[in-house]
Amino acid sequence: MLEQLEAAHWFSQVGSMNGITQPEKIILLRSWKEAIEKCSSFEWENVCLEAQNRLRMRLFERNHERYLQWNDVVDSLKFTTIPFVQRKIEPVVTQHDLPKVLEDTVQWDVLGICLESEFADVYPPGFYASHAYWYSNGHFPCGWQGEFPNGTLILY
């Protein structure tokens, strides 16, 4: 998964319809200002936390032994994901003078992507796998409209 994300040109399509095959299923933002506002909202934070909590609950229900490995896996992944994300976002952060909340959001997303991948043998990837798709296609998943898991993804 990280190899796919490494090869991608993150944020290269923000604000455009490029790579969006079902525009009726997303809300597209037009500026970094809007994207930062959305990704720093309590609503988005709660949706992302809920998605990760659902993964942990399914892991607990389906394979308690793997569930007990969660914290060690998180620690191990962070060793790789933190510098990876910092390096990938640095150009856009510098170019647009973006706040730390962008890094925090992307760090959480990439950790979620890796956790879903790590535990895919117990529970199939979903929410964060879709984030990997959007990052790989140059967009930034940054919000949600509606009651999770129903609702609409907000992209920049």
Task: Give the SS3 label for residue 147.
Answer: coil
Residues forming a β-bridge with 28:
155
Q: pTM of this prediction?
A: 0.95
User: Tell me, what's the pLDDT at 124?
Assistant: 96
Bridge partners (DSSP) listed for residue 152: 145
Q: What's the pLDDT at 68?
A: 97
Q: Is there a contact between 3 and 113 (Cβ–Cβ < 8 Å)?
A: no
Residues with Cβ within 8 Å of residue 42, at least 6 apart in sequence: none
pLDDT score at 147? 93
Please count the structural domains in the chain: 1
> Residue 79: how many CB atoms within 10 A of its CB?
9
Q: 9 Cβ partners below 8 Å, 6+ apart? A: 138
Domain boundaries, position 37: 2-15+22-155
Distance CA 153, CA 149 (A): 10
Query: Between the CA of residue 143 and those of 42, 43, 105, 152, what are the distances in Å?
Result: 10, 8, 11, 9
Mean pLDDT across 2-24? 95
Tens digits of residue pLDDT in 62-120: 999 999 999 999 999 999 999 999 999 999 999 999 999 999 999 999 999 999 999 99
